Structure 1
Amino acid sequence: MEITHLGHACLLVAAGGRRVLVDPGTFSDLEGVHDLDAVVITHQHPDHCDPARVPDLLGANPRAQVLVEPQTAEVLARAGLGSRTESMTAGGVVDLGGLTLTPVGDLHAVIHPYVARVGNLGVVLRAEDEPSLFHPGDALDGDPGEVDLLGVAVNAPWAKVVETIEFVRRVGPRRGVVPIHDGLLSEAGRGLYVSHIGDHGAEGGVEVLDLRGAGTTTV
């Protein structure tokens, strides 16, 4: 599996001979992203789904399936992209031929009582003889089953580090965690969060695969 962190919550994953982009939002570097087999959008918030930039992304990837959380499908339909989108269903498996995607979840994490919760579907990516990866979107209650790699939100308005650490411990990724959702942080602040997650995400710590700025990384 090859993973490229394209900013904030956006990951480009190549596995099983397929290329999948997850959560192209406002903080994402989408320049030159091509040859995609699928675009996955976990929920409608603009840091995960930027309707102003998605049309150009899809224009550059005309064969890509666009797999989205159902409420997000409505947002994209209003932007004139309804003909390209397919709504995901929790527990349903999407077979891309060599790579499967399994949507996991229901609702976005609680931000505060004055912001309505929206739908959120994380996704597990699995290919034979390659690591599995769970990108949870913006939620800490999904149950992906056994996975090798876990995308972990480093910071968010809805996130509390003690809850993040408990999420990592509960899922128990076999290989380690991939820090994501970090676009609001200074370098020093990000480093503090990442060290907390790495030091306390399991007894004795959990491996952190920090891919920000690392380009394409094979795991």
Structure 2
Amino acid sequence: MQLTHLGHSAVLVEVADRRVLIDPGNFSEAWHGLTDLDAILVTHLHPDHIDPEHVPALIAANPSAAVYVEPQVLGQYDLPTARPLAADTEVDLGGVNVAAVGGLHAVIHRDIPQIGNVGLVMSAPGEPTFFHPGDSLATIPLGVDVLAIPAYGPWAAMKETIDFVRQVNAPHGFLIHEQLLGPRGWALAFGRLGEMGPATLVDLRDRTPWAPGA
């Protein structure tokens, strides 16, 4: 498995001869122009997770890619080739299993209605299991080897994120959802989560592919 953090919540997962892009949102441009994708996955409808301006071009540049999105995304965006990926369902991407977990976005405020959100647990025989939670810390899958950890969002506090990292108990992790933080805020989150959680964290801000355990 190789993981490339392409900014904010966008992660390219290369495993079992498949290239899978998660959450191509509008807080990042590093995923623009990607080709040879086998799948594009979207955890929820917020534009920092699916960029309405550039995702159609991404799909057009990857005509063979399967597109799976949290079901509410289909009502918000015109994605003719997309299929729904609801919580508690799984899809097979040709040797890569994707299990959708959770179902709801974290609460931002009691006056803001909750939307759907699916965390994505990706696994393949003989490879680490990777968990991308989208924008929710509510679901704790078992057997996660690599955790994408939201560094900051208006829906989370540090104390909640630390408890989430501890409960998932993955040995490896890296920060995502970081674009609302400056360098000092990122360093604070990286340091605290690394000190107080079980995961060994890696800094993937330079967009270099990383092979967990290598």
TM-based fold match above 0.5:
yes
The structure 1 residue matched to 2:179, chosen from 175, 180, 183, is 183
Alpha-carbon distance in 2 for matches of 1:37, 1:182: 26
Note the C-alpha offset of 1:91.
2.1
TM-score, length basis structure 2: 0.95
Partner of 1:150: 147
Give the aligned residue type for 1:212. R
Aligned residue for 1:59, secondary structure, equals: helix
Pair 1:207 & 2:200 matched? yes
Alpha-carbon distance in 2 for matches of 1:38, 1:200: 34
Aligned residue for 1:217, secondary structure, equals: coil
Higher percent of residues as strand? 2
RMSD between superposed Cα atoms in Å: 1.1
| 1:89-136 CA-partner distances (Å, limit 9, x unpaired) | 222221111211110111100111222110000101101111110000
Alpha-carbon distance in 2 for matches of 1:172, 1:56: 37
Aligned residue for 1:117, secondary structure, equals: coil
Partner of 1:69: 70
Among all aligned residue pairs of Structure 1 and Structure 2, give the percentage whose two residues are the same amino acid.
45
Partner of 1:138: 135
Pair 1:93 & 2:90 matched? yes
Partner of 1:216: 209
Aligned residue for 1:121, secondary structure, equals: strand
Q: What pairs up with 1:1-219 in 2 under 5 angstroms? A: 1-28=1-28, 29-76=30-77, 80-81=78-79, 83-173=80-170, 175-202=171-198, 206-219=199-212
Give the aligned residue type for 2:33. G
Mean alpha-carbon deviation: is it higher for 106-115 or for 162-171?
A: 106-115
Aligned residue for 1:106, secondary structure, equals: strand
Aligned residue for 1:12, secondary structure, equals: strand
How many residues align? The count is 211
Alpha-carbon distance in 1 for matches of 2:211, 2:33: 20
Note the C-alpha offset of 1:31.
2.6
| 1:110-167 CA-partner distances (Å, limit 9, x unpaired) | 1112221100001011011111100000000113221101111001111100000000
Moved over 4 A (4+): none
| 1:34-61 CA-partner distances (Å, limit 9, x unpaired) | 1111100000011001111110110111
Aligned residue for 2:108, secondary structure, equals: coil
TM-score, length basis structure 1: 0.93
Aligned residue for 2:117, secondary structure, equals: coil
Unaligned runs of 5+ in 2: none
Alpha-carbon distance in 2 for matches of 1:27, 1:112: 22
Unaligned runs of 5+ in 1: none
CA contact (8 A) 2:33 2:58 kept: no
CA contact (8 A) 2:10 2:31 kept: no
Mean alpha-carbon deviation: is it higher for 123-132 or for 25-34?
A: 25-34
Note the C-alpha offset of 1:32.
2.7
CA contact (8 A) 1:17 1:99 kept: no
CA contact (8 A) 2:32 2:54 kept: no
Aligned residue for 1:134, secondary structure, equals: strand
